Structure 1
Amino acid sequence: MVSIQRKNQHICGGFLVSEQFVMTAAHCFTEGEKLTVVVGAHDHNNGSSRMDVKFYHIYPGYESKGLLNDIMLLQLHVKVKKSYRVNWISIPDKDKDIKAKTKCSVAGWGKITTNGRASAKLREVDVTIIDKKACQKYWKNLYSTSRMVCASGHGGFCQGDSGGPLVCNKVAVGIVSFNQKNNCDSPTLPNVYTKISKFLPWIKCILGGVKQ
């Protein structure tokens, strides 16, 4: 889990998928702005190291309006060393649906309540995957059953959690993408994540393109 920062301020979450790549949401990037990545942090500034981004790989089909294909890979300038604080997470090895009612978790430093303050400590909450047809009923045409996955629970994500991982059985299957606007506290619509397995050919292409 990493903190993605702009001008040393946390704006999004992300997660290491290899020694040189961080996966996050494409909507965390604004043209012309420089992002840095803080790895090994639990509290934002504690025992962590800040790394520069060398390349921003935004999925070519990303649509900012409806947040379709909301996925980005950040290539770091230097390779990350594994330690007890720093590691990368597995992603799916093939494109398959995540079964409804699967218990998963999501983590981040985002706001704890709508328009509240961001959390200084990394927080994690359990969520349950919702059937994709049910999710489409909730979100209508904003929801893509093949490219998104949705989940709900007693907690969920809020502003500042974008880009963080949805983890099921120790595998990152989704990226925090969008939720009900201005309602983190008691949303009536489930949280939506980008479904990572749909993008495996592109991910492999980007990760494979830098092997020395």
Structure 2
Amino acid sequence: MSLDSQCSTCTSIAMYAYHAVFVLQLFFCFTEATGSSIVGGKVSEPHSKAYMASLQVNGFHRCGGVLIRKDFVLTAAHCKYEKMTVILGAHNISQREKSQQRIEVAKFHPHPRYNDKNFSNDIMLLKLQHNAQLNKYVKVLELPKKKKKNLPANTICTIAGWGQTVSGSRMGLMSDVLKETTEKTQFNFECKHIWKDYFQTEVMICTKHDQKGGCCWGDSGGPLICKKKLEGIVAYADPQNCSNPRYPHVFTKVHSFLPWIEKVMQGKTTA
């Protein structure tokens, strides 16, 4: 899959005879990111989400991420690319803002049981080449507690990113500035009914949305924040229309992976 010679399409998985899933990630052929990310929603107050990271390849935004320690960023496993740069402290990623810190990835830690066919265990840690300098523009977002009940349905959560700004198929219209919107958590049985075997209750969360807004291509790896806590990582949606209200957006459930995250950050595992 070439990043230089052609537009890359999102990874897909067959959804029975009639449907396929694409990760919420976009490779595009434009020379710069344009547009107003999140479909609909609103522009975030600059630097109000100081934990947000833009994961870039060759100067182009590919995925979102979350700074969870000054030397580690949490994102989705399907966001793994060589020579990735993490941009912290950004609001407008088309500019070289003085607040920005640009740090290369020293090591990728995708979950050892990540399955790129059904996106189970779609989570990854990025070890930075050096520590981020924490300040008012760059902050760490704490991980959820170990013992936690599942989020109740209809919990209002916030998502943010620099992804595609229009609903529909992958069109390449990305955002220069960080945007955000809200979605509501959905009952697990509803998600299971729609996504079948691709929705795994123990390790995934899904949300309701409408065509007015929501996460889209390029928002992969970004956070789902509920009651000011990190609950999920953006994973996948309907490949034909990221805002199709029939298909819930799906997120990797962070607290299901806390033991693994802690082992990686403590240097107790090489995977």
CA distance in structure 2 between the partners assigned to 1:56 and 1:170 by the alignment:
27
Match of 1:181 in 2: 239
Q: Which protein is bigger by CA-based radius of gyration?
A: 2
Q: Structure 1 residue aligned with 2:132, among 80, 83, 93?
A: 80
Contact preservation (8 Å) 1:111, 1:159? yes
Counterparts of 2:239 and 2:74 in 1: how far apart (Å)? 24
Length-normalised TM-score, structure 2: 0.74
Q: Mapping of 1:41-120 within 5 angstroms? A: 41-44=90-93, 45=95, 46-47=97-98, 48-94=100-146, 95-113=148-166, 114=168, 115-116=170-171, 117-120=173-176
Q: Cα distance, 1:127 vs. partner?
A: 0.8
2:53 and 2:92 mapped to 1: Cα distance?
Answer: 11
Number of aligned positions between the proteins: 208
Q: Which residue of 2 aligns with 1:193?
A: 251
Work out whether 1:209 is the aligned partner of 2:260: no
Per the TM alignment, residue 141 of structure 1 is displaced from its structure 2 partner at its CA by 0.8
Find 1:129's aligned residue among 171, 185, 189: 185
Q: How far off is 1:112 after superposition?
A: 1.0
User: In the alignment, which residue of structure 2 is the partner of 1:35?
Assistant: 84
Mapped partners of 1:149, 1:183: distance in 2: 19
- How far is 1:187 from its partner? 3.3
Q: Which position in structure 2 is the counterpart of 1:18?
A: 69
Q: Which of the numbers 216, 220, 244 marks the counterpart of 1:158? A: 216
Amino acid of the structure 1 residue aligned with 2:113: G
- Which of 171, 193, 197 is 1:141 aligned to? 197
Given that residues 89 and 170 in structure 1 are in contact (C-alpha distance below 8 angstroms), is that contact kept between their aligned partners in structure 2?
no
Q: CA deviation at 1:171?
A: 1.2
Residue by residue, what CA displacement relative to the aligned partner does 1:171-193 show, whole Å, maximum 9, x if unpaired? 11100000011202333100000
Find the counterpart in structure 1 of residue 6 from structure 2.
none
CA separation in 1, counterparts of 2:60 and 2:194?
33
Q: Larger relative contact order (C-alpha < 8 A, sep ≥ 6)?
A: 2
Partner Cα separation in structure 1 for residue 91 and residue 229 of structure 2: 20
Shift in Å, 1:38: 0.3
What code does the residue aligned with 2:234 have?
V
Identify unmatched segments of 5+ residues in structure 2.
1-51
Q: Output the CA distance in 2 between the equivalents of 1:197 and 1:163.
A: 15
1:71-121 CA distance string (max 9 Å, x none): 000000111121111101122112531111111100000001133300111
Is contact 1:111-1:160 (8 Å) kept?
yes
TM-score (norm 1): 0.94
Instruction: Using the aligned pairs only, state the percent identity.
Output: 40
Paired with 1:150 and 1:168, the residues of 2 have a C-alpha distance of 12
**Maintained 8 Å contact 1:42/1:121:** yes
Q: Does the 8 A contact of 2:209 with 2:243 survive in 1?
A: no
RMSD, aligned α-carbons: 1.3
